[in-house]
Amino acid sequence: MPRQDRDLLINRELGWLEFNHRVMEEAALEDNPLLERLKFLAIVSSNLDEFFMVRVAVVQQQVSAGVTEKGEGIAPPELLEKLRERCHEMIDEQYRLYREELEPRLRAEGIRLRGPDELSDQQRAAVNRHFAGEVFPVLSPLAIDPGHPVPRIRNLGLNLLVTLQQPWMAAGPPLMAVVEVPGVLKRLVPLPGETGGRDYILLEDVIRPRVGMLFPGFRVQSCAAFRVTRNSDLNFDEEEADDLLAAIEKELRERERGNPVRMEVQAGCDPFGLEFLRRELGLSPADIYTLDGPLNLTDFFPLTGLDGFAHLRDRPFVPPVVPALRESSKDIFETIRRGDILLHHPYDSFSSVVEFVDCAADDPDVLAIKQTLYRTSGDSPIIRALSRAAENGKQVSVLVELKARFDEGNNITWARLLEESGAHVVYGLIGLKTHCKVICVVRRERDGIRRYCHLGTGNYNPATARLYTDIGMFTCRPDLGEDVTHLFNILTGYSEYGEWQKLSVAPRHLKAKLIELIDREAARSTPQRPGRIVAKVNAVIEPKVIEALYRASQAGVSIDLISRGICGLVPGVPGVSETIRVRSIVGRFLEHSRIYYFHNGGDEEVYLASADLMDRNLNRRIETMFPVEDEALKQRLIGEIVRLNLADNVKAWELHSDTTWTRVQRRDGEPPVNCQEQLIQLALSQAPLGEAKLGAGARFLMQRMAHEGGRKRGAG
């Protein structure tokens, strides 16, 4: 993108912070159940941890290296200042929300976090027993003096900074020590409490009043919690690594030694000790975040799942099995032969994907299973099925992506388990992450060898499949099967990319294909029949794709971008992006699916992909995009999923030309449409999209769709 057009790109890091602020707005929304609000507040903390460990760390490195060149319109020193300022604002708002709204309401509902001075005699006795029997033996006080340098502070570990005075010395600076709050113990310590309620005390609040027991003969002046965040981005040369698995294991150990990028401290921390620690860690005063409340709200996730408080959570939803599989015979392969099957998670059960691999593992006619694994769950049924398939003598090839950020350790464990069972495990291509989601089952049948495939937008993780919206497709189309075989030959062996029949694969072809489709829409667009593009993704920041979207807008193409997270494109700029609208949906489920729609002069095309419109996805990863050609499935994507996303006026936000985000406002008389809730209704109805099955919001949408007429039209 030319330098003069850099103002038409929103900075990625600043854009991400605004996404996290939209998550926090869900915690502030009184319409959400109380424990769901607490969950969103915990997600904000978890998101910020990763943001500091990776994105802020990179900007700090650029500043330290003296980089001054502007990227996306802003130089690293200015960007770092803006990030710090926005993070301080956001964290202050987060803790105000916790102190003034959520914590008092939780207490009123019987979920009480007790301070050391609030305990009853019974509770204090229980805490004393817990400290003496479970906590004290684990603690290790670490003195700080010329003979004891500042200890290595563990990344994201919770610690206590203790200042001490020798009783026989009336003057002089205090002595200092660090006590690590043991991560091996539960931070939320249950207390005996009132009937019908739940009382807890934080582990650090168990230790603080008793910390003097670790320093007999000394007087404790102050004791406050703190937490250090370190640069945790892996940094190694794959080409120089003889053993990729060993190299990543080494880097995981180094992650604990990364440079500090942030320190969170409890309000009331001793100023002398805090300043000493800041200097020793090499942090700027702006990198210190003083929190008036418990550090690391991520640890409050267990409270959101407490038994007995159903009225404080979203109503439970058990995804049904998609009708095509539920109503068919027990032979999943026979069902797939009848036609492609679309699964929209979490509205359709992920158990069908697990069953697909399970059946393949035990079916005597299955010869081989090939699969990519980027992230999966802790006790993965898919890993168990693949292991069983290898033990049953089938050819099992699994690409385990060891470089999946913050899941590297888990993936090393799975890789070793699969290897022990006899599966062939590979770790991908040098310099590229393998992010595509593909399964290929090779089966011998009466009429020859047939390939059954599952291609998807999300990970093979049963746990996140209940929380993330993703789309997968079962198919046995020969052209897709041949492409998938070719893809695995590239991933596991040596093979040129060559030509693809249906797949588009990054980094060689996918970006070019997307730009070609965008440019084709622009070329076919006329004032009488304007083109139409809809993209539902997690992020839009790839400059060349943004340029193409700007060109299409200037050609009159109507464009809707549903970008859950970051969007670097500026919509509504006169003469540049007047026909582009950008929205983001933040709700009960994390929007994760990637859908690309092109009107194509009435011959509509819909693609599903593992890739977002990001530089890393399109230029540095193995990603796939594939067409949905079954007409019924295509219309489900357009007429149900895409339309409901565009009609949402409850959980949707819109991006304006001044780069600010605001909630979508309902027009007078327009009923509320919460697309995720409507999709739950549709899933539970197990019937085609029909007016009688829906709530008021969806009925309004159906009336509007009917008003458009019976002829085929563009999505939205």
| CATH number (domain holding residue 357) | 3.30.870.10
Asked if residue 88 lies in contact with residue 67, where contact means CB atoms within 8 angstroms, the answer is no
Residue range 409-425, pLDDT digits in tens: 666 777 788 889 999 98
Contact in structure between 473 and 408 (CB atoms under 8 Å): no
User: Residues 604-633: what's their mean pLDDT?
Assistant: 96
pLDDT of residue 687: 39
CATH number, domain of 97, equals: 1.20.58.310
For 14-35, give the secondary structure using H, E and C: HHHHHHHHHHHHHHHCCCCCHH
Q: Is residue 529 part of a domain?
A: yes
Segment 570-586, tens digit of pLDDT: 999 999 999 999 999 99
The answer to whether residue 139 is domain-embedded is: yes
Pairing of strands 288-291, 260-266: parallel
Provide φ and ψ at 319, rounded to 5°. -65, 130
What residues does 471 pair with on adjacent strands?
A: 344
Convert the pLDDT of each residue in 212-260 to its tens digit. 999 999 999 999 999 999 998 755 444 444 444 455 455 545 545 689 9
Is 556 contained in some domain?
Answer: yes
Residue 195 placed within a domain: yes
Q: Do both 6 and 68 map to the same domain? A: yes
Q: Output 170 or 95, whichever has higher pLDDT.
A: 95
Do 541 and 397 lie in a common domain? no
Pairing assessment for the beta strands 366-373 and 395-400 based on DSSP bridges: parallel
Same domain assignment for residues 415 and 531: no
Residues 479, 513 share a domain: no
CA distances to 5, 205, 501, 519, 675 from 564, rounded to whole Å, are 24, 38, 31, 24, 14
Asked if the structure places residue 299 within a domain, the reply is: no
Which of these is catalytic: 130, 344, 345, 435?
435
**Residue 531 has what pLDDT?**
96
Nearest of 272, 129, 152 to residue 210 by alpha carbon: 129
279 and 416 share one domain: no
Containing domain of residue 580, as a range?
504-707
Please check whether residues 354 and 416 belong to one and the same domain.
yes
Mean pLDDT in residue range 440-451 = 97
Q: State the Cα–Cα distance between residues 676 and 589, nearest whole angstrom.
A: 8
Query: Of 108, 128, 144, which marks where a domain is finished?
Result: 108
555 shares its domain with 657: yes
pLDDT level of residue 716 (50, 70, 90 thresholds): very low
pLDDT score for 69: 80
Q: Within this chain, do residues 541 and 678 fall inside the same structural domain, yes or no?
A: yes
Please indicate whether residue 454 is annotated as part of the active site. no
Whether residue 428 lies inside any domain: the answer is yes
Question: Tell me, what's the pLDDT at 432?
Answer: 87
Pair 466, 525 in one domain: no
Residue 705 has a pLDDT of 37
Q: Are 646 and 602 found together in one domain?
A: yes
Distances (CA, A) of 20 to 40, 94, 281, 614, 615: 10, 11, 27, 18, 21
Model pLDDT for residues 323-375, shown as the tens digit of each residue:
889 865 578 999 999 999 999 999 999 999 999 999 999 999 999 999 998 87
- Is residue 677 included in any domain, yes or no? yes
Q: What is the value of pTM for the model shown? A: 0.89
642-652, pLDDT tens digit by residue?
Answer: 999 999 999 99
The answer to whether residue 457 sits within a structural domain is: yes
Boundary (domain end) residue, out of 440, 470, 492: 492
Domain shared by 487 and 510, yes or no:
no
Mean pLDDT confidence for 634-663: 96
Please tell me whether residues 103 and 217 are part of one structural domain.
Answer: no
pLDDT at 123 over 60: yes
* Distance from C-alpha of 289 to C-alpha of 415, rounded to nearest angstrom: 39
Checking if the pLDDT of 703 tops 70, the result is: no
Which of 492, 522, 556 terminates a domain? The answer is 492
Determine the Cα–Cα distance for residues 539 and 15; give it in Å rounded to an integer: 10
Which residue, among 607, 537, 523, has the nearest Cα to 568 in the 3D structure?
537
In angstroms, the CA 441 to CA 481 distance is 9
Number of domains into which the chain is organized: 4
CATH number for the domain including 199?
Answer: 3.30.1840.10
